[in-house]
A and B are shown apart, each in its own frame.
Chain A
Amino acid sequence: MVGELTWSRRLFGLWLPLAALFVFALFPFAWMAATSLKGNAELYDPKANPLWIRHPSLEHYVGLLRESNFLVWIGNTMLVALVATLISLLFGVMLAYPLARMRFPASGLLAISVAVAYLVPQTLLFVPMADLINRMRLGDSLSAVMLTYPTLLVPFCAWLLIGYFKTVPKELEEAALIDGASRWRAMTRVILPLCTPGFLSAGIFAFTLAQNEFLYALLFLNTSTIRTVPVGVTGELIRGDAFYWGQLMAAAFLGSLPVVLIYSFFVKYYVAGLTSGSVKG
């Protein structure tokens, strides 16, 4: 261990900043949780404490699950996000590995063009993209978004992975090659395991963006039962200028908690990835 773990160091270096982070990141969720458990009368009561619940009720959760296809939307969202993430990570590695660790003609130009792909605003893309999807007869199907989300995610994954690939010393790869390994083996057995944290961040990022995406989902997913959470929820819980606040917040909660649990499982491997791939010199 580095440094001495004195009591005050622990307090000012860890617990206080951690508490501050928690308050900053999570106070909106305290409100969301409280709101999802309140009846409308209490929500609108000007004298009520926004964070305190006088008459807890599950009516919004019951309403959400009973009156809408919420569980189907969650399933769709997870499926779409998972497939889009896997495609994006695969393509991301295929782009990032050569660009980060190989020397070949036109690599600089290629790196730039991958980044250019990223600069294209969605507002510019969505009309032609809708056209493309319709021509491919993919409209109103989950495959439409599974294919279009990676266009938003691949360049990012690639660039993020380039960053991580570069942190691995070149000597490791060279040593493996001298030992007789092929490039493929050097990549899959030496470099990639070392970059597990990078995969996790890229994967978490891609997954989150994919489950969050709104515009393509709105344009390509039309039947209620094949929608993702953002489009399904806004389509049926935002009616005119009247919002079903309680149900919206219940949806935000039910939708994000499973993801948090999945992530809490994965973020452990930040450390695991490091130790299993480490090289002692």
Chain B
Amino acid sequence: MSVNPAFEAARPATQAVPAARRFRVRAWLEREAVFSWLMLTPPLLFLLAFLGYPFCYGVYLSFVSRQVAQPPTFVGLNNFVNLWHDAIFWQAVWNTFRFTGAATVLKLAGGLGMALVMHQNFRLKGLTRALLLLPFIVPTVLSTVAWQWIFDPGMGLFNRGLMFLGLVEHGPSWLGNPTLALVSVILVNTWRGLPFFGITILAGLQTIPGELMESATIDGAGTWGRFRYITLPLLMPVIFIVTTFSIIFTFFDFQLVYVLTGGGPANATHLMATYAYVISMGGGQLGLGSAAALAMVPVLGIVLVVMSSYVRRA
């Protein structure tokens, strides 16, 4: 087994430290727990300061009734009870699940396809990959403004296209029809997120050693067999992580829906994130708004349990 040249070159330097004391410190540093904690401490302190405090404050807010610029009063679980009886909240929960589920499945399937297509050799590969990332790069506030026109009933690309093909006389109302509005926001979310799935899975593909593929081919595996028994299992860690994070991101997606529909028409696209925001910012109910935001966490906790079991398995 030969090691890479950079590492080879580094070896003499290590051997040139003879002192015994130095060696003990080094041995101590070489213990897995010590090495780990030395690495972990700075980022953990950072997260504790910048996430820990705001998070605890947010949790505290969800147990009080608190208007903007007014002192809080402790109300226990009242905020959560209120939400439990709030029909709009439940509609937002249901919408969030449909939105997240549909968008994640679409992004995963499309992203996997994109990665497999781009894992081939062709000219201008770098530029192609970067161009396909465009939907992900353009700031959401700006791309969503463009989508407002693309969904326009008379002027939009969709309805113009449908009319051009002679399929309809007047196109449907993409953002005015409650069902279509949800489909539309799912479509835009998929459009924006798919390239990231593609590029992340592609990176995973690149780490699969070509030798494995070659030996599998020699053993008589076909394209599907290689994909099913080599590519997919090796990609699983990356797919798992990227899916999990996409679920979290989609679950919290606020900007896209807020700019495109504001949660309308008649709450058909209201998500938990937009509703929590509206309660805090529109009604000034910081306590209730925090409770609505916090209500998202246990749902995602389920995702988390799956993630942690994955960590332990590996």
Contact = CB atoms under 8 A, between A and B. Distances in A.
A contacts B directly in the complex (CB < 8 Å)? yes
Interface of A: 2-3, 13-14, 17-18, 21-22, 24-29, 31-32, 35, 46, 49-51, 91-92, 94-95, 97-100, 102-105, 107-108, 110-112, 114-125, 127-129, 131-132, 147-148, 150-151, 154-156, 158-160, 162-164, 166-168, 175-176, 179-185, 189-190, 193-195, 197-198, 200-201, 204-205, 208, 211-212, 214, 229-230, 233-234, 243, 245, 248-249, 251-252, 255-256, 259-261, 263-265, 267-268, 270-271, 273-274, 276-281
Contacts of B286: 127
Interface in B9-54: 10-11, 14-15, 26, 29-30, 32-33, 35-37, 39-40, 42-44, 46-47, 50-51, 53-54
Contacts of B4: 189-190, 193, 276-279
Contact of A183 (B10, B35, B127): B35
A245 to B, nearest CB: 7
A57 to B, nearest CB: 18
Interface string B266-303: 00000001001100100000100110011011001100
A125 B40 contact: no
B307 A95 contact: no
A234 B141 CA distance: 8
B41 to A, nearest CB: 8
Contacts of B30: 182-183
A116 to B, nearest CB: 7
A221 B226 CA distance: 51
Contacts of B10: 181, 185, 189
Nearest to B32: A102
24 contacts: A3-B223, A18-B117, A46-B155, A91-B43, A91-B46, A92-B43, A121-B294, A121-B296, A122-B252, A124-B61, A127-B61, A128-B58, A132-B54, A163-B204, A164-B203, A175-B3, A179-B7, A180-B15, A190-B3, A233-B141, A245-B149, A263-B133, A274-B207, A276-B4
A21 B238 contact: no
B311 A270 contact: no
A104 B32 contact: yes
Given A162-B241, A167-B207, A274-B206, A279 B1 contact: yes
B10 to A, nearest CB: 6
Nearest to B34: A104
A176 B241 CA distance: 28
Interface stretch (B73-81, B168-176, B191-199): B191-199
B145 A98 contact: no
Question: 8 closest A-B pairs (Cβ-Cβ)?
Answer: A264-B130, A98-B36, A197-B203, A91-B43, A128-B54, A104-B33, A124-B58, A163-B241
Contacts, number: 348
Interface stretch (B85-93, B97-105, B178-186, B209-217): B209-217
Contacts of B204: 163-164, 167, 197
Main secondary structure of the interface of A (DSSP, over half): helix
Interface in B115-160: 117-118, 120, 122, 125-143, 145-147, 149-150, 154-157, 160
A145 to B, nearest CB: 12
A148 B53 CA distance: 13
Given A104-B36, A150-B46, A125 B51 contact: yes
Contacts of A124: 54-55, 58, 61, 276, 290, 293-294
A18 B54 contact: no
Given A167-B238, A190-B4, A260-B137, A108 B308 contact: yes
A264 B126 contact: yes
Contacts of B290: 124
Nearest to A261: B130
Nearest to A87: B46
Interface of B: 1-4, 6-7, 10-11, 14-15, 26, 29-30, 32-33, 35-37, 39-40, 42-44, 46-47, 50-51, 53-55, 57-58, 61, 113-114, 117-118, 120, 122, 125-143, 145-147, 149-150, 154-157, 160, 191, 194-196, 199-200, 202-204, 206-207, 209, 211, 213-214, 217, 223, 226, 234, 237-238, 240-242, 244-245, 248, 252, 254-255, 273, 276-277, 280, 286, 289-290, 293-294, 296-297, 300-301, 304, 307-308, 311-312, 314
Contacts of A164: 203-204, 207, 237-238
A216 to B, nearest CB: 11
Contacts of A163: 204, 237-238, 240-242
A123 B273 contact: yes
A120 B58 contact: yes
A181 B7 contact: yes
Contact of A182 (B29, B118, B150, B252): B29
B203 A112 contact: no
B304 A2 contact: no
B121 to A, nearest CB: 8
Contacts of B146: 28, 31-32, 35, 249, 252
